[in-house]
Amino acid sequence: MLKNYINLLHRHLLLLPILIFSALLMKHFITNDHDWGDDFAQYIWQALTIVYGGYAEFMQTNTFIINNSSFVIGSITYPWGVPLVLSLIYRVNGMDLIAFKYLGFFSYLLFLLTIYIGFLKYFPKKICLIVVAYFAINPFWVDGVNTIVSDIPFLFLSTVCIFLMNAIVVSKQVIFTKVIDQFLLGILIFTAFLVRNNGVLLLVNLFFIQLIGFWQHRKWFNKSQIRQEVLITSIPFGVFIFLLIAEHSFLPNGDSTHIHFLMQANHVTVFKNFIYTIRLPRFFFGSPWLYIATIFPVILGVRKTWRQSYCYLIYMSLTLALYSLWPAHGGPRFIFPILPLYFFYLVVGVLELSKRMMNLRGPLLGSHSKVIAYALSGLFMVSSIAYGYADLPRNVNQVDGPYSQSTAQVVNFLEKNTRIDDVIIFRKPRVMYLLSSRKSVLIDNEAGLEMGDYLVLDLEKKHDQSQISLNSAVLSKLNEFMVFKNEQFVIYKLKGHQKS
């Protein structure tokens, strides 16, 4: 047994330096601060709720924040998977941002290992190593690893689920036993859902590929075989429902914000969001032109392998459909889960082009087609990565966020000079509550000032859509009630709301 493991390690030894280099690279970009993204604050807040209890207080306070802000900033509860892991880290390290970020760090390394194993089924080892190396040093992932959110953990889990789904359901491979494999699928899909709600697409994807499988083999089964097959293939759904009920028994569930978001969709927004989403891979490839250069090989790859990989196509289509319906723009992180699948078709297409070039007559293309294909692919990858690093901000290790000295002064003032039940109007209300333990709301109009006891303005974000824009007359009146100012922030006490 030990000899088998040693032989296995030896065969894939070149993967190790790639993973080590990627780990060192990503560690270099991990900072002991955070950007102003409001989501991370809620993940940490939910983790603290797990550690200290007080679920009712959390639900009540965050319901107030979400429902009284000028527009929807998130769900009352996020999926509990990431907070559960953060709560374990907190018990060991306390409030340590770098320790929290190691969740994304290790998830990314596991993702690299996953695409290597998944691609080995289709491609030679050296090509798999090249693909992993490209993903490993691509700066596209820097922001995802250096933030405390669910994007990278979900990338890892969704990739595992999709590769397993294709192997078990489409290719009919047996990993353990048919029954255990189905249980494993159900557990992994639920785990992905526990990290991010769009993990439910994995369950929908499973249903569709099972349906296609039944249709393809409908003539092979008699009635008893059909019943047995239906029973076995329903196991993942039963496991998912059981675990969902168990989760809701122990942890509070939020509102239907996501459904409310989807209900806002119309044909105009769907079309615009579709165009927006299909353009996002340009950030991964570093340039719009390099992204455009991938489209033909990808189409070629889809044409060649769709019968064996329709699992990937359906999942990519479901993800694209979801974000076409979604009214908010979340940036490149929206396409994280489909990038390894897109790259799969790109590799297939490039290899097919190389094969077709070999069949061409002529001394240049025919005999040197592999060399040309590898040279062009290498040039493409180097150019892509070079563009990506060129787009990184020069001060990438200095993040504009809430853990600055200026913010600390604001928090210190509020803790010493406000009451625990005062309401602070601020453009990032969940960050404000996490740092100061004061209820906060996002207000973007003058009438909404009635909601607050104090107004905090970020002077560096005057044109940010999440910060209230006040005309000069209102500001002139508010200046009479200025109670704090530093180089970045100003605080006003809203006179009409002084508490007795």
- pLDDT 10s digits, 442-497: 998 888 888 899 999 998 887 777 888 777 777 777 777 899 999 999 999 985 54
Residue with tokens 């047995």: 228
> In angstroms, rounded to a whole number, what is the distance separating the alpha carbons of residues 284 and 176?
36
Per-residue confidence (pLDDT) for residue 397, from 0 to 100: 54
252-276 average pLDDT score: 76
Q: Residue 98 — very low, low, confident or very high, per pLDDT cuts 50/70/90?
A: very high
**N- to C-terminal Cα separation, the chain:** 75
Per-residue confidence (pLDDT) for residue 50, from 0 to 100: 96
Q: What is the mean pLDDT of the chain?
A: 87
pTM of the entire predicted model: 0.92
432-441 average pLDDT score: 95
Q: Residue 433 — very low, low, confident or very high, per pLDDT cuts 50/70/90?
A: very high
413-433 average pLDDT score: 95
373-391 average pLDDT score: 73
> In angstroms, rounded to a whole number, what is the distance separating the alpha carbons of residues 205 and 219?
23
5 pLDDT higher than 60: no
- Contact between 184 and 175 under an 8 Å Cβ cutoff? The reply is yes
59-82 average pLDDT score: 92
**Cα-flanking dihedrals φ and ψ of residue 12, to 5°?**
-120, 30
How do residues 153-186 score in pLDDT, each as one tens digit?
A: 999 999 999 999 999 999 999 999 999 999 999 9
Reading across the β-sheet that carries 482-485, which strands appear in turn?
439-441, 423-425, 454-458, 489-493, 482-485
DSSP helix/strand/coil, 349: helix
351-363 average pLDDT score: 72
Q: Residue 326 — very low, low, confident or very high, per pLDDT cuts 50/70/90?
A: confident
Residue with tokens 């005999």: 367
Length in residues, the chain: 500
Which comes out higher in pLDDT, residue 195 or 227? 195
The answer to which of 23-37, 132-146, 363-377, 396-410 has the lowest mean pLDDT is: 363-377
Per-residue confidence (pLDDT) for residue 8, from 0 to 100: 58
> In angstroms, rounded to a whole number, what is the distance separating the alpha carbons of residues 42 and 58?
10
Query: Residue 145: which of 28, 19, 253 has the closest Cα?
Result: 28
How do residues 303-317 score in pLDDT, each as one tens digit?
A: 999 999 999 999 999
Contacts within 8 Å (CB) and 24+ apart, 24-29:
25/136, 25/137, 26/105, 26/108, 26/141, 26/142, 26/145, 27/105, 29/142, 29/145, 29/146, 29/396, 29/397
Helices (H), 326-368: 339-358
221 pLDDT higher than 70: no
> In angstroms, rounded to a whole number, what is the distance separating the alpha carbons of residues 379 and 385?
10
Per-residue confidence (pLDDT) for residue 116, from 0 to 100: 96
SS (H, E, C) 94-107: CCCHHHHHHHHHHH
Per-residue confidence (pLDDT) for residue 497, from 0 to 100: 45
| Lookup: tokens for 138 | 């691509």
347-357 average pLDDT score: 86
Strands 454-458 and 482-485 turn out to be unpaired
Residue with tokens 């209300």: 429
